[in-house]
Structure 1
Amino acid sequence: MEMDMTKQNATSGQPKYAVGHWMHLFGVGPLETHCRLVIDLEQSKLVAAQEWTGLKFEDVLGSRLKDLAESVIEVNEAHKNPDEWELDRVRILPFWVRQSATAATEDSQDDTKPSQRDSGNKSFRVHLYVLTRVPVEVANASSQVDAIAQAVDATDLYEAVKTSEYAEEIHSALVDEVGDAEFTRTQHYQPGQEDGEWVVESFATQKERQAAATDALTKVDAAFESVNSLLDASGALDSEPLQKAVYQLRLEIARASGDPERTKAAQLSLQELSA
């Protein structure tokens, strides 16, 4: 049956790839790694992946890619039902895959390029992380949070950003030096207080920010459970609109935590309530 579906995809013009995000536990440890990946639906194969290092996404290669593929393809069979794993179906490889391939080609050819050190200048690849505005009309939602969730679920952001509006804010910048294959001189910058000022953000600052965000989310989660218990004890959750709002809030907290199992459970609970 799977071979028949593969042939159908190849001849019917259906999307060839599934792309999206995945949380994965590499090796021993309590923390999962945020990955972005591409599955070739025709070959039922994980063809590309990158992991977030705290400063940027880097390619997942070798044994780590094999380990990730085992989880994505062999264990969870995400290629058979991408929608269940919130993966988007696309016809072409996403930009970050093509960019990574281009960078690898440039690095392999770097020795043949004339040196620019004589002029005192270097070549750089600057990644600007900018905010864009994607307007989405939501006709029927129980709350503003529910409207956001519907907008996210209904929008192909990979396509939407191509025609989105620039929100006139640069969040940060990542600068690589061309030829630095190991990215040892890569720096992450944040806008400074003065116009045109850029401040290097250290790895420690990133870790501190992540730790603060995790701590804040833990407190929000605990507060939610406390309020939920009080509402349940008072009988207020007998109100279907209030119960749906509570379930929606639980889903958003689960999404923010990055826990796929918890997110899936919260989604199922909300779907059962809405059925």
Structure 2
Amino acid sequence: MKIGILGPESSYSEKAANIWKAHLETNPDISYLKDISEVFEVLQENSIDYGVVPIENSIEGSVGVTLDLLLEHEFSIIGEVVVHIHHCLLSRGRKEDIRIILSHPQALAQCRHFIRKNYTDVEIRTTGSTSHAAKLATEFSEMAAIASRKASESFGLDILAEDIQDWKPDLTRFVVIARKQDPRIQTCTHDCKTSIIVYLNRDHPGALYEMLGELATRGINLTRIESRPSKMSLGDYVFYIDMNGSINDPNVKEALDNLKQNVYMLKNLGSYQSYMEE
């Protein structure tokens, strides 16, 4: 059994995967992949059994590429993990020698104020992951990476500054994805959350109100709702909704059955146990 994650080693995705693995009876191997898109591609090719991908951060919001790929692929969410993020500035060199700072775009955005205050004249470069940035930072002493403490240990880098994220706590939610036909997917029985994607395709006054009314009148609590461009025309959106409860709960099932009759598309991403935290 294999889990695909954003690599290389010592990424926050690895930390999330290890938290989820700890609740399994088996001990899957981890495959380190170059980006989030490759996690979806390799899962589609049956080369891995599960993927662990970031979906939202408490500072910077949603990870758009993950949301888009959940719409494009026929995968189920089977679990979620929340990881506390503690960004460090890592380098071979000294603070005053840094000319380039590298990291994943989300990490750079989460440390925007720190960079502006302390490194106004440095060049900013984006990488596929925080751990990839750490690996690159080993090459030159004028390079620094924003990554985890574990990445400093893995790649032999010094910690120049710790906890440099602009807001605390800094939390990232990861979801575990699997192919829908995977027979090992278990039914959620307690502390469940259900995720769906809805496309209205009929823009009229009260359309969103009517959709949410199906859930509100049945006492279903929404934990998240977000719109993303449908990529078909300007101002056209799909909605990503998370709610408490399982698809097997009568009120949730009834609400989604009614929604299906009144929207252009409803995609059920699955019901799964609400988050595991480190």
TM-score range normalised by the length of the shorter chain: under 0.3
Larger radius of gyration: 1
TM-score, normalised to structure 1, is 0.25
For normalisation by structure 2, the TM-score amounts to 0.25
Q: Give the structure with the higher percent strand.
A: 2
